[in-house]
Amino acid sequence: MTDSILTLALSASAGIILVIIANKFLLPSIVLLLAGGIILGPELLGLVNPETLGHGLDTVVALTIAVILFEGGLTLDVSGYKKSSSTIKKMLTIGPLITWFGTGAAVYYIFNVTPALSLMISSLVIVTGPTVVFPILRRINVKEKLHHVLYWEGVLIDVIGVFIAVMSYKWLIQTSGDHFLVPLGKFAMRIVLGTILGIISGLIISYILKKEIIQDEHTNIFVLAGALLVYSISHSIIPESGILTVVISGLVIAIKHPPHLRKLKRFKLQLTEAGIGMIFILLAAKLELNKFSNIRLLYLLIIMIFIIRPLVVFISTWKNGFSIREKLFLSWIAPRGIVAASMASLFALRLKEKGFNNAELLETVAYSVVIVTVTLQGLTAPFVAKLLKVKRVDKKRWVLFGESNLIKSIGKALRKGGIKTVEIDTSNDNDDTLNIDDPVFNDVNAVFFADSSANYSINEIAKTCFEIRASNYYRWSSFTTEQLREKTGLPSTPVWMTTSASSLISAGLESHQKSIDIIETGSKIEKGRFGKTLMPLFWIDNGTAHIIKDPLDPGEPVGDMAVVLRQKKLGLKQLISHVEVVIENDANFKAVLDRLVVSANRQFTKLADTDIIEGIFDRSKTMTAAIGGGIAIPHAYWEGVSRSTCFMAVIPNGVSGITVPDEKTIRLVFLLLSPKDQAANHLESLAALASLGHEKDFVDLLCRQKIPAKIISLISERD
């Protein structure tokens, strides 16, 4: 009793510690777990002795595999697979068959065993697995399409490999009188039972979660209990059918997307890592090292690594645009991991119970493949990627967290400037779109939060999952850096403190009163171009985005484009039809107005020039056309115009002959004409034109221009 308790306690604690260390240093956890199990096991220290568990070891391994595969089903992304390339689809269909039959043939000839046992052994090494592939991918930062292929192969091939292994196992243990198709029939029965029970259980669990029958604090343990229960029921009806049942159940729950799914996935991931840590210490402890000295294992490994895997890759990538260097890299990266080793141990235990000769060969071959591929390929992957020149360019992607409408507008503008982005909506607590092992997160350079929220899960994800400098975390906030660190747990840099709150900007975008877009800037910005109604948020420089901390004091531009937040001016671009630049030193208001009316007559030939001017001057006796800030807006309703139209004059030296309310010389004159039946449009146009005078620097900028087209361009930027 004491030995079994010590064995379980040491296995669990040592396994969890080693998993934490592996995650910390981005290493495949299986490497440390195998080494830890061998050191703690009978071969060396003798502190962990799996034999003391007896048949309980089989049960522990089976239940742990059930939890691992349930978590795998929970995280499967059907939409992601639909979007995947034909290369990935071939690697998940043709690839497993080539590996299965190719490795099976090699095992048959090298070890001189039966065809059934050969295919049983080869079925166990089909899978690569995310637990060993993902740490490698995070370290080497390869081209996105290579990352994409390896990522989706690792995500989905576990389930395929397990199904083939179960079918091979049933074929192997069939009685001598059975027809060779009997195992296929039994396998089909397992498929049917597993699918039906998986769908039913997944729907029931999802329904209970959506109706919130279970309290939030009990959600995780309820789902765990449900997964173990449905596994045991399925397994008791038809042995080994429970594996498919839990995978389907997890997939159904993921598709139904019940509340708190993100928290559920996080709990299942932690539980899976704990289970993996424990069983691998146990399984590694029972390995007999002397069995790994067989030279025939080396022959098999050479065939698998240098013949079978390249064959899979070259066939799957045929005519799909992969270079020879890229094909060679994909051929080199195929480490086997958790599922391969655990399934090998599980089936080896069961075959030993049934008295099969050479049952231990399953473990010997599987663990040899796991140890060599994980160690060799894991350690050499960075060097091979560099040698083959398949590394990605410098990281430049931005991850944007925030309310959907806001971050989508920012992301769209950044992408127009050639910046790669990912937008993650944090307005929905149940949002579950973030999977940090997805290829799009492989080149993250900066993280931007569109609010100062202390959302625990979002901040934890950002802090632990993106391998970037602390200085590249930015947050739209009025808090200081120290306050943000205390509030969120992240060393975020506060930006855009001088703008309105993010919620107000989002509302403005929703109502189309504001917009976020990208404009060309040139290498130098004229004073007055930017202000409260046109604020730069990012400089764009040759595919790199530089966030601007204070949009009201942006400094010199970096690059020749900028992402800007603009207060829309009710159609100024369409409103201003013509611009005149009057450079006389003694310009008179009536003379300027005459020139504008002449321009108006060119566009609207039925205007009565004298009547317009006389009407405006008669009105000026009681109410001047000057509105302050150096702007005058003479305006009138007239039958000769078809829509509200403005004719603009820029007079740098100012005009005389008009009363001003604020002693500011009139330098901008807008003649606004509208049809008599469009009073609402006329008033809106007046308000839009008047708003231009709110920024003195912008008025000065317009008055420095000599070319009418440039004036219209500057005004249009704020529209």
Same domain, 560 and 597: no
In the numeric block, the tokens 């049917």 are attached to: 192
Q: Name which of 361, 363, 308 is nearest 340 in CA terms.
A: 363
Last residue in a domain, options 535, 567, 599 = 567
Pick the more confident residue, 82 or 131. 131
Instruction: Tell me if residue 86 falls in helix, strand or coil.
Output: helix
Last residue in a domain, options 567, 590, 610 = 567
In the numeric block, the tokens 């349930």 are attached to: 70
Number of domains in the chain: 3
pLDDT band at 468 (very low <50, low <70, confident <90, very high): low
C-alpha 551, offset from chain centre: 27
Q: Name which of 653, 666, 668, 655 is nearest 714 in CA terms.
A: 668
Average pLDDT over residues 92-115: 92
Judge whether residue 431 has pLDDT over 60: no
CA separation for the pair 617, 633 (Å, rounded):
12
Average pLDDT over residues 262-284: 76
Average pLDDT over residues 297-302: 94
Contact 240, 166 (CB under 8 A): yes
Instruction: For 601-679, list the strands marked E by DSSP.
Output: 626-628, 631-632, 635-637, 645-650, 668-674
Same domain, 551 and 587: no
Same domain, 406 and 350: no
Render pLDDT for 242-258 as a digit per residue (tens, 0 to 9). Answer: 878 888 888 888 888 78
In the numeric block, the tokens 């409408």 are attached to: 405
pLDDT band at 179 (very low <50, low <70, confident <90, very high): low
Last residue in a domain, options 361, 387, 413 = 387
Same domain, 526 and 659: no
Render pLDDT for 481-534 as a digit per residue (tens, 0 to 9). Answer: 777 666 666 777 888 888 888 878 888 888 778 889 998 887 677 788 888 888
Range ranked top by mean pLDDT from 427-431, 577-581, 613-617, 687-691: 577-581
Judge whether residue 417 has pLDDT over 50: yes
How does DSSP classify residue 692? G
Same domain, 221 and 348: yes
Q: What's the confidence (pLDDT) of residue 398? A: 87
Cite the DSSP H helix spans in 25-143.
Answer: 29-40, 56-75, 78-83, 86-91, 94-111, 115-123, 130-140
Average pLDDT over residues 644-648: 90
Instruction: Classify residue 531: in a domain, yes or no.
Output: yes
Same domain, 344 and 493: no
Q: What's the confidence (pLDDT) of residue 79? A: 57
Confirm whether pTM is higher than 0.85. no
Instruction: Classify residue 452: in a domain, yes or no.
Output: yes
Same domain, 447 and 548: yes
CA separation for the pair 508, 571 (Å, rounded):
16
Judge whether residue 441 has pLDDT over 90: no
For position 348, which CATH number holds? 1.20.1530.20
For position 626, which CATH number holds? 3.40.930.10
pLDDT band at 627 (very low <50, low <70, confident <90, very high): confident
Same domain, 144 and 194: yes
Judge whether residue 270 has pLDDT over 90: no
Question: Domain limits at 617?
Answer: 572-716
Render pLDDT for 41-92 as a digit per residue (tens, 0 to 9). Answer: 888 888 888 888 877 777 887 788 788 778 777 766 665 555 556 788 888 8
Instruction: Classify residue 392: in a domain, yes or no.
Output: no
Judge whether residue 327 has pLDDT over 90: yes
